[in-house]
Amino acid sequence: MMIKKGCQYLVVLREVNLSFKIINECISCDACASDCPTGAISVADPIYIINPEICCECVGYEEASICVLVCPVDSIILDENYIDTKESLLKKFENSKK
């Protein structure tokens, strides 16, 4: 897993519990999907997508969201239309292990 350095964005992400979405700048490199611990990222046309019902924001797995760290073109951003809570994230984390 290649991780970008100096990603202050992630500090913000962990405080607000918003889900993520992939934007058009995605170059379909597959790095995020390969490293996602929950399988929430899939190939779509024309770009990859994140299923917010599955994404636990990496809670329970890592200190920060892996997909955001590995994306080489910063195409994974907050989805302001999908708000999570700590409880919902933990529930999705538990579900991802089944």
Q: Which residues bind ligand SF4 (CB under 6 A)?
A: 20, 22, 26-32, 36-38, 40-41, 48, 50, 55-58, 65-67, 70-71, 73, 75-76
As given in the structure block, the two tokens for residue 49 are 């997508």
CA–chain centroid gap for 32, Å, is 8
Q: How far is the CB of 89 from ligand SF4 (least distance, A)?
A: 9
Query: Rounded to the nearest whole angstrom, what is the least distance from the CB of residue 10 to ligand SF4 in the complex?
Result: 10
Q: How far apart are CA 19 and CA 5, in angstroms?
A: 22
CA gap 93, 59 in Å, rounded? 7
Closer Cβ to ligand SF4, 6 or 17, answer by number: 17
